[in-house]
Structure 1
Amino acid sequence: MTSDTTAWLIILAIGVGTYALRLSFIELLGRASPPPYLQRALRFVPAAVMAALVLPALVNLDGARDLSLGNERLLAGALAAFVAWRTRQVLLTLAVGMAALWLLQAYA
């Protein structure tokens, strides 16, 4: 078997596996509701995913970890997190975070 054929078979197998995995959850959740402990745990998935996507962008600057006060993204993110905690308003959090980032970058 050539390497091209092997690569295509691997891609096909991964695609079928991914589709089957996603379909299984749709089918299982359509037939029965998950237990209460699982429902409570699943409520935290969106927040965990968002944190996993955003935090590395805030603490890494030019490929290195930067936790100093010179990191404008970290300061703007901390201010946005505070606004989110106090107000629980998504649009206000985004506006304050972006305005803080732009101002900190403009005057840095």
Structure 2
Amino acid sequence: MEINWYIISVIIGSAIVTFIPRVLPLVVLSKLEIPEWGINWLKHVPVAVMAALLASELLLHDNKIALQANSLSIITAIPTLLVAIYTKSLLGTVLVGVSTLMIFRYLL
């Protein structure tokens, strides 16, 4: 088997480009003393990102709001959200979401 140095350099370059944005903030922020309000603000970032991802997936179709096109996903999101809120279990939430969508696709 021949070694293709271009492919190896692309793999190494991709690894470096992926590694830097993950490690650099960790190194910089570990040296800083973040105030309490900053920590409280940062706690809301994952929820805001997840809400933005879910809203775009559930409500948009071809960059337009289309509730009819995504009605099955919206209906499936309701019990999944309830399980997520009440159990706070990632595994339970995923299982309910996948099984609910599977059942709705089979029935409808």
Opposite residue 84 of structure 1, the aligned amino acid is A
Give the TM-score normalised by the residue count of structure 2. Answer: 0.67
Give me the whole-angstrom Cα distance separating, in 1, the residues matched to 2:107 and 2:76.
Answer: 13
Runs of 4 or more off by more than 2 Å in structure 1?
25-28, 60-68
Change (3 A) 1:26 1:84: closer
Query: 1:47-101: per-residue Cα shift (whole Å, max 9, x none)?
Result: 1111111221112246542335x71101111211111011111110111011111
Give me the whole-angstrom Cα distance separating, in 2, the residues matched to 1:27 and 1:96.
Answer: 38
Q: Is 1:61–1:71's contact at 8 Å kept on the other side of the alignment?
A: no
Q: Is 1:72–1:101's contact at 8 Å kept on the other side of the alignment?
A: yes
Q: Which runs of 5+ in 2 are unaligned?
A: 1-19
Aligned CA-pair RMSD: 2.8
Q: Which runs of 5+ in 1 are unaligned?
A: 1-18
Aligned to 2:10: none
Give me the whole-angstrom Cα distance separating, in 2, the residues matched to 1:33 and 1:101.
Answer: 45
Change (3 A) 1:57 1:93: same
Give me the whole-angstrom Cα distance separating, in 1, the residues matched to 2:30 and 2:62.
Answer: 45
Aligned to 2:71: 71
Q: Show the 5 A alignment for 1:29-108.
A: 29-61=29-61, 64-67=64-67, 71-108=71-108
User: How far apart are residue 29 of structure 1 and its match?
Assistant: 1.8
* Count, aligned residues: 90
Change (3 A) 1:95 1:26: closer
Give the TM-score normalised by the residue count of structure 1. Answer: 0.67
Change (3 A) 1:62 1:103: farther
